[in-house]
């Protein structure tokens, strides 16, 4: 169900039937015809600039052309009124009965025409490092994007490209060799920073770690044994946190280590195609082009110490994904400091001819900052782990709830906290930085996760009190009801746009605007009051039901959960 598409198609179809203009509808003009949803819906549900685009070719005034078009557009089924505004915009209003029929059917399933196969690369956690604030956006936005794509009927495969085969592994193993095995994951997470700090001061230590890394990669059994004991601990912690965050299970935890198996194959291809160059003991791929205006360093295929590099893993992963998935696109979600890395990798892939039929796309994120504009830190000046973040938010929710005199279960507090944290992340355009402020994200009013959940809980509690809802008699719609229904009709277009633009924030903000309309409706259109006629009551209950239908779907797509009470 996508009324936008339905109307657009009908309008275009109609224009093509008009004898006076049909010969002038060049592909270019057709392309430029915009069917828009006006901000203020007083004059219409849709508006189009079609008349204006035809003035040149017809040599007539836009208003005269508009008048002609109006007489035809009126014939489109389900159109109530067509009017002209300004210099020649055409406003179209849909029949209330059609709006109601469509919404009350409860069918909000998408009608995606071209189903795609998409590989998604997000998460990309690192062994030996606790998940921290820097992993929030890739996790939350990647997961929601995955859910949206699946909802639209696309086939996705989510890859957690683990950072589990590089120098940090050598640093951890070197530390273990000197200080003994870690007994738990916290031990491991302390080892890497300690060893890494030492490497900064002690070149011999760094060299040792580099050597261990290369030997591990070449199959040294002693190192592999150590590695195999701490890897599961680290993965266990990652999975536990992903569960707490309500993130879909990754289809593949194939990262730097598991892709290593394919590196020799790719290296052979690179050699055959004469793409590898030797430079100071390292092996590189030149990706600079004459037209470049910005620096474009070569891809480091193998380090001078002989280690598999970050870049090699990513290039090989493209090879692997093409072979196993043959995707239409591969989309990466990481912070924007990796923009250059992905540019290099994509160029290298094009150079060797990997994934030639796939679009390669990197979505780079901005930074989460404190109110000072610097990367967000905890009060004691540390980079917060994701667990810390959730705890900070949950604490704030708990405080608010107890101040308001309510009693909510821990489970509910956790759901609200999760919504506060994730929604705040989702509602911002990923490309820009945003300020994280605990007090504002946990507010029950305004553009926040708790507000969204609260609205859903309210609708749920209305519906709990009534049985089966059926509308048998038609009655007029108040403007607040009509606005809400028109907005519900936009759900499928919104999910499609969020998908096409790789922009879950479009869905998040839709959910917020939807809640605002729901609450306006709720306050202006009483439902259960004694003086409300039965037929009005059942129509309003139906509006509640379908609003909840769309709102819960949006909530689910954002990976949030509606609590029992709030």
Determine, following the binding rule CB under 6 A, whether residue 161 of this chain makes contact with ligand ARG.
Answer: yes
In residues, how long is the chain? 566
| Structure tokens belonging to residue 402 | 């107890």
| Structure tokens belonging to residue 387 | 């667990």
Q: How far apart are the C-alpha atoms of 11 and 32, rounded to whole Å?
A: 13
Antiparallel, parallel or unpaired: β 277-279 and 282-285: antiparallel
Our CB check for ligand ARG shows the closer of 195 and 334 to be 334
Our CB check for ligand ARG shows the closer of 319 and 487 to be 319
Determine, following the binding rule CB under 6 A, whether residue 128 of this chain makes contact with ligand ARG.
Answer: no
Region of 121-129, 220-228, 410-418, 509-517 interacting with ligand ARG (CB under 6 A): 121-129
Instruction: Return the residue of 143, 252, 314, 425 that touches ligand ARG, per CB under 6 A.
Output: 314
Determine, following the binding rule CB under 6 A, whether residue 334 of this chain makes contact with ligand ARG.
Answer: yes
Q: How far apart are the C-alpha atoms of 354 and 139, rounded to whole Å?
A: 27
Instruction: Return the residue of 124, 142, 384, 559 that touches ligand ARG, per CB under 6 A.
Output: 124
Q: How far apart are the C-alpha atoms of 493 and 515, rounded to whole Å?
A: 18
Region of 65-73, 118-126, 401-409, 536-544 interacting with ligand ARG (CB under 6 A): 118-126
Could you tell me the smallest distance in angstroms from the CB atom of residue 335 to ligand ARG?
A: 8
Determine, following the binding rule CB under 6 A, whether residue 460 of this chain makes contact with ligand ARG.
Answer: no
Could you tell me the smallest distance in angstroms from the CB atom of residue 253 to ligand ARG?
A: 12
Could you tell me the smallest distance in angstroms from the CB atom of residue 146 to ligand ARG?
A: 15
Could you tell me the smallest distance in angstroms from the CB atom of residue 553 to ligand ARG?
A: 29
Q: How far apart are the C-alpha atoms of 441 and 400, rounded to whole Å?
A: 12
Phi, psi dihedral angles at 64 (to 5 degrees): -65, -40
Could you tell me the smallest distance in angstroms from the CB atom of residue 500 to ligand ARG?
A: 22
Residue closest to ligand ARG (Cβ): 124
Our CB check for ligand ARG shows the closer of 317 and 562 to be 317
* DSSP structural state of residue 280: T
Our CB check for ligand ARG shows the closer of 137 and 415 to be 137
- How many of the chain's residues bind ligand ARG (CB under 6 A)? 8
Q: How far apart are the C-alpha atoms of 419 and 560, rounded to whole Å?
A: 6
Could you tell me the smallest distance in angstroms from the CB atom of residue 502 to ligand ARG?
A: 15
Region of 2-10, 61-69, 120-128, 468-476 interacting with ligand ARG (CB under 6 A): 120-128
CB-CB neighbours of 8 under 10 Å: 17
Can you count the helices (H) and strands (E) in the chain? Answer: 23, 13
Could you tell me the smallest distance in angstroms from the CB atom of residue 161 to ligand ARG?
A: 4
Region of 46-54, 99-107, 119-127, 442-450 interacting with ligand ARG (CB under 6 A): 119-127
Our CB check for ligand ARG shows the closer of 158 and 509 to be 158
Determine, following the binding rule CB under 6 A, whether residue 322 of this chain makes contact with ligand ARG.
Answer: no
Our CB check for ligand ARG shows the closer of 363 and 551 to be 363
Could you tell me the smallest distance in angstroms from the CB atom of residue 252 to ligand ARG?
A: 12
Determine, following the binding rule CB under 6 A, whether residue 121 of this chain makes contact with ligand ARG.
Answer: yes
Could you tell me the smallest distance in angstroms from the CB atom of residue 499 to ligand ARG?
A: 21
State CA 457 to chain mean position distance. 24
Antiparallel, parallel or unpaired: β 329-335 and 359-365: parallel
Could you tell me the smallest distance in angstroms from the CB atom of residue 316 to ligand ARG?
A: 11
| Structure tokens belonging to residue 171 | 């640093």
Determine, following the binding rule CB under 6 A, whether residue 164 of this chain makes contact with ligand ARG.
Answer: no
Our CB check for ligand ARG shows the closer of 317 and 518 to be 317
Helix ranges (H only) for 371-503 are: 386-403, 410-427, 438-441, 449-464, 479-488, 491-500
- Assess contact for 149 and 376: CB atoms under 8 A: no
Residue whose entry in the numeric block shows the structure tokens 């489109």: 76
Determine, following the binding rule CB under 6 A, whether residue 126 of this chain makes contact with ligand ARG.
Answer: yes
Could you tell me the smallest distance in angstroms from the CB atom of residue 126 to ligand ARG?
A: 5
* DSSP structural state of residue 58: H
The sheet carrying 155-159 orders its strands as 155-159, 117-121, 329-335, 359-365
DSSP 426-463: HHS-TTS-EE--HHHHT-SSSSSHHHHHHHHHHHHHHH
Helix ranges (H only) for 202-304 are: 203-217, 221-244, 256-259, 263-272
Determine, following the binding rule CB under 6 A, whether residue 163 of this chain makes contact with ligand ARG.
Answer: yes
Q: How far apart are the C-alpha atoms of 172 and 218, rounded to whole Å?
A: 17
Residues within the interface to ligand ARG (CB under 6 A): 121, 124, 126, 161, 163, 314, 332, 334
């Amino acid at each position: 169900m996508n009324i936008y598409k339905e109307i657009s198609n009908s309008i275009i179809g109609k224009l093509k039937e008009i004898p006076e203009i049909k010969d002038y509808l060049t592909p270019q003009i057709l392309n430029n015809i915009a069917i828009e949803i006006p901000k203020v819906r007083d004059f219409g549900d849709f508006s189009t600039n079609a008349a204006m685009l035809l003035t040149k070719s017809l040599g007539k005034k836009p208003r005269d052309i508009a008048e002609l078009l109006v007489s035809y557009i009126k014939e489109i089924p389900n159109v109530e009124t067509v009017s002209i505004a300004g210099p020649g915009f055409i406003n179209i209003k849909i029949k209330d009965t059609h709006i109601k029929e469509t919404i009350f059917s409860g069918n909000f399933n998408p009608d995606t025409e071209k189903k795609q196969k998409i590989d998604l690369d997000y998460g990309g956690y690192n062994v030996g490092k606790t998940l921290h604030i820097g992993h929030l956006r890739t996790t939350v936005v990647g997961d929601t994007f995955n859910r949206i794509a699946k909802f639209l009927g696309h086939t996705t495969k989510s890859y957690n490209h683990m950072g589990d085969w590089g120098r940090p592994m050598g640093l951890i193993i070197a530390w273990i060799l000197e200080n003994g095995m870690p007994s738990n994951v916290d031990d491991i997470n302390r080892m890497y920073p300690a060893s890494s700090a030492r490497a900064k001061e002690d070149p011999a230590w760094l060299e040792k770690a580099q050597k261990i890394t290369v030997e591990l990669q070449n199959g040294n059994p002693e190192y592999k044994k150590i590695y195999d004991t701490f890897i599961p601990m680290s993965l266990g912690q990652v999975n536990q946190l992903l569960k707490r965050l309500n993130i879909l299970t990754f289809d593949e935890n194939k990262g730097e280590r598991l892709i290593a198996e394919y590196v020799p194959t790719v290296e052979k291809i690179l050699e055959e195609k004469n793409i590898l160059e030797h430079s100071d003991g390292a092996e590189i791929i030149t990706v600079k082009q004459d037209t470049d205006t910005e620096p474009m360093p070569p891809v480091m295929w193998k380090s001078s110490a002989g280690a598999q590099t970050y870049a090699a893993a990513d290039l090989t992963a493209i090879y692997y994904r093409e072979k196993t998935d043959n995707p239409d696109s591969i989309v990466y979600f990481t912070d924007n400091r990796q923009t250059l890395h992905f540019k290099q990798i994509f160029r290298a892939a094009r150079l060797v001819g990997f994934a030639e039929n796939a679009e390669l796309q990197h979505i780079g994120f901005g930074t989460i900052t404190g109110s000072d504009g610097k990367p967000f830190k905890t009060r004691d000046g540390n980079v917060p782990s994701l667990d810390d973040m959730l705890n900070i938010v949950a604490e704030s929710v708990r405080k608010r709830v107890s101040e308001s005199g309510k009693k909510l279960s821990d489970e509910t507090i956790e759901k609200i906290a999760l919504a506060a944290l994730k929604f705040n992340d989702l509602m911002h355009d990923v490309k820009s930085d945003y300020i994280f402020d605990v007090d504002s994200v946990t507010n029950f009013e305004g553009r926040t996760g708790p507000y969204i959940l609260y609205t859903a809980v309210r609708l749920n509690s209305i519906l709990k009190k009534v049985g089966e809802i059926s509308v048998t008699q038609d009655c007029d719609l108040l403007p607040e009801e009509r606005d809400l229904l028109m907005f519900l009709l936009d759900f499928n277009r919104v999910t499609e746009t969020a998908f096409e633009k790789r922009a879950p924030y479009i869905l998040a903000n839709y959910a917020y605007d939807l809640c605002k309309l729901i609450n306006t409706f709720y306050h202006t259109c009483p439902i259960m009051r004694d003086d409300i006629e039965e037929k009005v009551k059942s129509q309003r209950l139906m509006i509640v039901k379908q609003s909840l239908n769309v709102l819960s779907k949006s909530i689910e797509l954002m990976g949030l959960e509606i609590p029992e009470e709030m």
